[in-house]
Amino acid sequence: MNYEKLTLLNKEILTCPFSKENNPPCGRSEGFSPVINELYPTQRYLIISSDPSRDTDKTRDTLQPHSHFEPRFLALLFVGSDSPEVCQVIKEDYSELKKIFLEYFN
């Protein structure tokens, strides 16, 4: 995707209304706001999580996990599984895998 398309998609996600229904039009349940990081002109992908993590700590170093979601996401991306065993391996190599992730997703 190009930057302009990602920007439009980002705006659409942020303006999608909340719903109390079991199946809201864009998957947003009331009380959960999407967390979308800054978009970059070189960015090719937009990662969307259905429920932002409440344990996110952006004060940590870039190459340290900010939440439990990040190691699970990297496990799914690099291995195709987010099992506890795979996530433990990902945590051991987290900074190197995060560098690779940032190279392609920033």
- Tens digits of per-residue pLDDT, 20-69? 665 555 655 566 666 666 777 877 777 766 555 666 777 888 888 878 88
pLDDT value of position 15: 78
Q: What is the DSSP letter of 84?
A: H
pLDDT value of position 32: 63
* Amino acid present at 54: R
Share of the chain above pLDDT 70, in %: 71
CA distance 16 to 55: 24
Q: What is the mean pLDDT of residues 85-100?
A: 91
CA distance 55 to 50: 15
Q: What is the mean pLDDT of the chain?
A: 77
pLDDT value of position 104: 77
CA distance 15 to 96: 35
Q: Are 45 and 61 in contact (CB under 8 A)?
A: no
pLDDT value of position 33: 64
pLDDT value of position 102: 84
**Closest-CA residue to 50 (of 37, 32, 67):** 32
Provide the 3-class DSSP secondary structure of residue 19: strand
* Amino acid present at 64: Q
Residue 95 has pLDDT above 90, yes or no: yes
Structure tokens at 50: 């259905």
